[in-house]
Structure 1
């Protein structure tokens, strides 16, 4: 595992392309991959990724809204559940099956609810509405060392201020993959994202 806290969000990816795209991501150092459940045949894509990369990547699902979907993700070999909201039932179901839980939060109340329910970290969503200053205020009261991912409206050009206030990672969707992108498109974007992340972390 690379240790980079970057989650690739492959919304809209199809099973016939997902393994090739996953390999491109791993080649440039992104080893956390989620397939949002509102993608075509999402569970099949998760199963294919998990089968191909279970030893070298953390594979999971995004846009997970119910405990029933958590079970389906686990059955496909998924190891990570990411949601746009903070649902304690989803978090508890995820942890009961031994998977990583990153629920979406927008307020300190939601963040504390997520952590009290057993979440491994929080997904700040939409991050563009919170901003680095908002995260800095939240981190003043949240547990030290907590994992936090900025998702929604963030990209290589805006990594530095987020890292400066203490975010631990990023979830990147359309800045990395959109339906119709080939492996060369994803490779270039992924390389730019990794380079910007490394520059920000090493400062």
Structure 2
């Protein structure tokens, strides 16, 4: 399935910052069972490319999960993610070179933006959707105002939790959730419980 199709099934991206290759499969399976379909491994996690490689090998043959990378800052990093099997590229900033390399390799591009100027620069470079970061401090009203002129899908990331997820999902195509869902050392049972809360918000 494509990124858009998985997002329509469940508009929650699980941001697995700090995850290791040894735990990636168990965490992926826990999130899959809870209904989350999109998993981001930030590149500043330990041996992130190996985690992406293992998850892609396990899940990309089917339709259950789609694995990509976050904190992607350079075109070289985009190539490494593609070689590891990642299917989408998420960045904290708007870098046209990263966006163009992502699209050249046939991956989904989701650069980070904060202002309308950055959003339009990202779209001109070929971005598929936009990551509002950090979104929590701005709130859903900011997204609603932006949508008067920005017609591309917007994902809210940074400061999104169970208290505001439903409000963001009223105006956003999806949300990215990090520490409110996963952090190193968190038991699988707690990850599953929180994941179910976010999927319930999505419904």
CA distance in 2, matches of 1:89, 1:161: 33
- Maintained 8 Å contact 1:102/1:122: yes
CA distance in 2, matches of 1:74, 1:163: 29
CA distance in 2, matches of 1:163, 1:9: 17
1:169 aligned onto 2:174: yes
* Aligned position for 2:142: 134
**Deviation for aligned residue 1:118:** 0.8
TM-score (norm 2): 0.93
TM-score (norm 1): 0.93
RMSD: 1.1
* Aligned position for 1:7: 13
2:101 pairs with 93, 96, 100, which one? 93
Secondary structure at 2:137 match in 1: helix
- Maintained 8 Å contact 1:7/1:171: yes
CA distance in 2, matches of 1:33, 1:12: 13
1:184 aligned onto 2:192: no
- Maintained 8 Å contact 2:114/2:133: yes
Gaps of 5+ in 2: 1-5
- Maintained 8 Å contact 1:156/1:197: no
CA distance in 2, matches of 1:191, 1:128: 21
- Maintained 8 Å contact 1:124/1:130: no
Gaps of 5+ in 1: 199-203
Secondary structure at 1:128 match in 2: coil
